[in-house]
Structure 1
């Protein structure tokens, strides 16, 4: 279940990033630079206007999805390592019993 959830988060993140990149491409150069800073989480001051406010919200959602994907990925890796250790122990025990 964890690898599937991880892939769902990654797909959502990619969709968010594509939508944000398309929106930023349509802006004039000055606004594009600010939009890219907002998307990266490196902007100063409150949002300027309705569009920028929406962009801030989109960027925050993208970062939240990324955090969730990283958490799911970490949990999946931990479970895989534990399962790998368990299987190695069983193989080792089976080899010892076979001798």
Structure 2
């Protein structure tokens, strides 16, 4: 079942990209981009094997960042920033 769903998502992904590129209205284009980002999230969730935590965090960051513009009474920015920070590789601190 996963493969059939992924095939449909691939088709929808192509259509949303084409639609976003052709859309002249700013908010309609953003809605199509949000749909496209959501499809990426669905692809990640349906892949076989363990979820890639960093990829999932980056995708959620992107969805939250774009969705923030559609939700004027809710500030998603702190949550998006926390996800972004958590997705960054940690740099070891020098000893001494």
**Normalising by structure 1, what TM-score?**
0.44
Greater RCO, CA 8 A, separation 6+: 1
Structure whose residues are more often helix by fraction:
1
